[in-house]
Amino acid sequence: MFEYILSQGENDMLELKYRWANAVKGFEMPIKVTLSKNDYQPLTPTTKWRVVDLNYFDQKEFKIQTDYYLIETRQVKN
């Protein structure tokens, strides 16, 4: 399961924290998400939390490209 948290970072940029949950240690499968508005980019989660700044401010515009991957996703509320 791909888990993620969207929150405002210190620089007022939208911050994405992400990881694979319920996966074997060392699991790394890339997926595509919108790292900037309407632009899907590859992201390689691991079983440990990682952080990336997103290039836009509206959380509603964040998308995960699920039509190419057989994955479950869950947004974790902070």
Q: What digits encode the pLDDT tens for the residues 10-69?
A: 777 889 999 999 999 889 999 999 988 788 999 999 999 999 988 776 788 889 998 888
Taking the C-alpha atoms of residue 53 and residue 12, their distance in angstroms, rounded to an integer, is 10
pTM (2 d.p.): 0.87
Count how many domains the chain has: 1
Q: Residue 21: which domain range?
A: 2-75
What token pair was written down for 18?
A: 């992400």
Question: Is 90 exceeded by the pLDDT of residue 73?
Answer: yes
Asked if 35 contacts 41 with a C-beta cutoff of 8 angstroms, the reply is: yes
Taking the C-alpha atoms of residue 68 and residue 41, their distance in angstroms, rounded to an integer, is 13
